[in-house]
Structure 1
Amino acid sequence: METVQTGVLVVGGGLNGLASALFLAQQGVDVHLVERNETTAVLLRAAGVSARTMELLHGVGLEPEIREKGLRLVPGKHWVEDHSSPALLPRAILGAKRVADIGEGSAFVMEEGTVEVEGASPQEPVWCGQDKIEPMMIREAEARGAKIHFNTEFVSYEQDEDGVTAVVRDNATGVERRVRARYLIAADGVASPIREGLGIKRTGNGTMGHVLSVLFAADLDSVVNGRRFLICYLLNQASGLLHRFDDTRWVFGLFWEPEQHGDGEVSKERALEYVRTATGLADLPIDVQLVTKWRLAHEVAETYRAGRVFLVGDSAHVHPPAGGYGANSGMQDAHNLAWKIAAVLKGWAGESLLDSYEAERHPVGAATAHQAYLRQETRTNGDGGHPELRNSTVISTGYRYHSAAFVGSEAGEALETELRIDGRPGLRVPHSWLEQDGRRISTVELAVDSFVLLAGERGQSWVDAATAVADGLGIPLKAYRVAPDAELTDKEGSWLGHSGITAEGAVLVRPDGFVGYRSAGPVVDAAAELKAALSTITARA
Structure 2
Amino acid sequence: MTDIRVPVLIVGGGLTGLAAALFLRQHGVDCTLVERNTTTSQLLRSTHVSPRTMELFRTVGIQQAVWDVAEKVVPGRLWSETNLPPHQLPRAILRAGSLADVVSGDAIVMEEGANQFTDVGPCEPVWCGQDRVEPIMLAEAVRKGADVRFATDLVSFAPDPDGVTARIRDRATGKTSTVRADYLIGADGAGGSVRTQLGIERRGNGTVGHVLNMLFKADLDTVLGGRRFLILYLTSKQAPGMLFKLDDERWIFGWFCGPDEIVDNAVPAERCLELIRTATGVDPDFPIDLQLTMGWWMAHEVVDAYRDQRVFLAGDACHVLPPTGGFGANAGVQDASNLAWKLAAVLHGWGGDGLLDSYQAERRPVGQATADQAWMRHMRWSGPPAGDFEQRDQTVVTTGYRYGSPVILGDAPDEVFAATMTLDGRPGSRVPHVWLTRDGHPISSVDLAGPEFALIGGAEAADWIPELVADARRAGIPLAAYPLAADGGTVTDPGEAFASAAGITARGAVLVRPDGFVCWRTEDRPAEGPAQVLAAVTGHQLPDEEEHRG
Q: TM-score, normalised by structure 1?
A: 0.97
Give runs of aligned pairs for residues 528-539 of structure 1, distance below 5 A: 529-539=529-539
Give runs of aligned pairs for residues 176-195 of structure 1, distance below 5 A: 176-195=176-195
Contact preservation (8 Å) 1:481, 1:487:
no
Contact preservation (8 Å) 2:152, 2:168:
yes
Query: Structure 1: which 5+ residue stretches go unaligned?
Result: none
- Which residue of 1 is the match for residue 247 of structure 2? 246
Give the 3 Å change call, closer, same or farther, for CA 301–471 of structure 1 in structure 2: same
1:155 aligned partner, one-letter code? V
- Which residue of 1 is the match for residue 505 of structure 2? 502
Separation of aligned partners in 1, 2:305 and 2:263: 36
Offset of residue 100 of structure 1:
2.4
Is 2:6 the partner of 1:6?
yes
Separation of aligned partners in 1, 2:416 and 2:110: 27
1:465 aligned partner, one-letter code? E
Query: SS at the partner of 1:18?
Result: helix
- Which residue of 2 is the match for residue 471 of structure 1? 473
Contact preservation (8 Å) 1:401, 1:409:
no
Give the 3 Å change call, closer, same or farther, for CA 126–421 of structure 1 in structure 2: same
- Which residue of 2 is the match for residue 139 of structure 1? 139
Separation of aligned partners in 1, 2:496 and 2:262: 62
Separation of aligned partners in 1, 2:184 and 2:513: 23
Separation of aligned partners in 2, 1:480 and 1:300: 39
1:184-223 Cα offsets, whole Å, 9 max, x none, are 0000101121111111111110000100100111111110
Contact preservation (8 Å) 2:484, 2:492:
yes
Is 2:290 the partner of 1:288?
yes
- Which residue of 1 is the match for residue 170 of structure 2? 170
Give the 3 Å change call, closer, same or farther, for CA 201–531 of structure 1 in structure 2: same
Offset of residue 43 of structure 1:
1.7
1:58 aligned partner, one-letter code? R
Is 2:268 the partner of 1:267?
yes
2:98 aligned partner, one-letter code? R
Query: Structure 2: which 5+ residue stretches go unaligned?
Result: 542-550
- Which residue of 2 is the match for residue 93 of structure 1? 93
Separation of aligned partners in 1, 2:266 and 2:146: 36
1:323 aligned partner, one-letter code? G
Separation of aligned partners in 2, 1:164 and 1:116: 45
Separation of aligned partners in 2, 1:263 and 1:133: 26
Give runs of aligned pairs for residues 270-349 of structure 1, distance below 5 A: 270-283=271-284, 284-349=286-351
Contact preservation (8 Å) 2:261, 2:267:
no
Separation of aligned partners in 2, 1:261 and 1:424: 46
Separation of aligned partners in 2, 1:425 and 1:267: 54
1:376-420 Cα offsets, whole Å, 9 max, x none, are 101112217844111111111111111111112424211122221
Separation of aligned partners in 2, 1:240 and 1:264: 17
Contact preservation (8 Å) 1:44, 1:245:
no
- Which residue of 1 is the match for residue 199 of structure 2? 199
- Which residue of 2 is the match for residue 487 of structure 1? 490
Separation of aligned partners in 1, 2:17 and 2:330: 12
Offset of residue 109 of structure 1:
2.0
Bigger shift: 85-94 or 403-412? 403-412
Separation of aligned partners in 1, 2:208 and 2:464: 53
Aligned residues: 538
Bigger shift: 335-344 or 468-477? 468-477
Query: SS at the partner of 1:80?
Result: coil
- Which residue of 1 is the match for residue 545 of structure 2? none
Offset of residue 520 of structure 1:
1.2
Give the 3 Å change call, closer, same or farther, for CA 261–128 of structure 1 in structure 2: closer
1:237-291 Cα offsets, whole Å, 9 max, x none, are 2111100122111100000113479886222112112112222223211111111
Separation of aligned partners in 2, 1:93 and 1:493: 39
Query: SS at the partner of 2:489?
Result: coil
Query: SS at the partner of 1:188?
Result: coil
Contact preservation (8 Å) 1:312, 1:333:
yes
Separation of aligned partners in 1, 2:263 and 2:302: 29
Query: SS at the partner of 1:57?
Result: helix
Separation of aligned partners in 2, 1:385 and 1:53: 31
1:175 aligned partner, one-letter code? K
Offset of residue 487 of structure 1:
1.4
Query: SS at the partner of 2:460?
Result: coil
Separation of aligned partners in 2, 1:94 and 1:523: 52
- Which residue of 2 is the match for residue 408 of structure 1? 410
1:137-167 Cα offsets, whole Å, 9 max, x none, are 1111111110000001110111111100111
2:347 aligned partner, one-letter code? L
Separation of aligned partners in 2, 1:451 and 1:259: 50
Give the 3 Å change call, closer, same or farther, for CA 409–24 of structure 1 in structure 2: farther
Query: SS at the partner of 1:348?
Result: coil
Query: SS at the partner of 1:381?
Result: coil
Contact preservation (8 Å) 1:122, 1:442:
yes
Contact preservation (8 Å) 1:350, 1:538:
yes
Is 2:212 the partner of 1:212?
yes
Separation of aligned partners in 1, 2:288 and 2:360: 47
2:132 aligned partner, one-letter code? K
Offset of residue 518 of structure 1:
0.7
- Which residue of 2 is the match for residue 513 of structure 1? 516
- Which residue of 1 is the match for residue 376 of structure 2? 374
Separation of aligned partners in 1, 2:26 and 2:287: 47
- Which residue of 1 is the match for residue 362 of structure 2? 360
Contact preservation (8 Å) 1:77, 1:90:
yes
Contact preservation (8 Å) 1:466, 1:479:
no
Separation of aligned partners in 2, 1:298 and 1:157: 28
Contact preservation (8 Å) 1:339, 1:512:
yes
- Which residue of 2 is the match for residue 442 of structure 1? 444
Separation of aligned partners in 2, 1:168 and 1:263: 26
Q: TM-score, normalised by structure 2?
A: 0.95
Contact preservation (8 Å) 2:355, 2:539:
yes
1:275 aligned partner, one-letter code? I
2:492 aligned partner, one-letter code? T
Give the 3 Å change call, closer, same or farther, for CA 256–487 of structure 1 in structure 2: same
Offset of residue 351 of structure 1:
1.9
Separation of aligned partners in 1, 2:225 and 2:457: 54
Give the 3 Å change call, closer, same or farther, for CA 346–79 of structure 1 in structure 2: same
Offset of residue 27 of structure 1:
0.5
Query: SS at the partner of 1:536?
Result: helix
Separation of aligned partners in 2, 1:91 and 1:363: 27
- Which residue of 1 is the match for residue 525 of structure 2? 522
Contact preservation (8 Å) 2:207, 2:298:
yes
Separation of aligned partners in 1, 2:265 and 2:49: 33
- Which residue of 2 is the match for residue 32 of structure 1? 32
Separation of aligned partners in 2, 1:226 and 1:144: 42
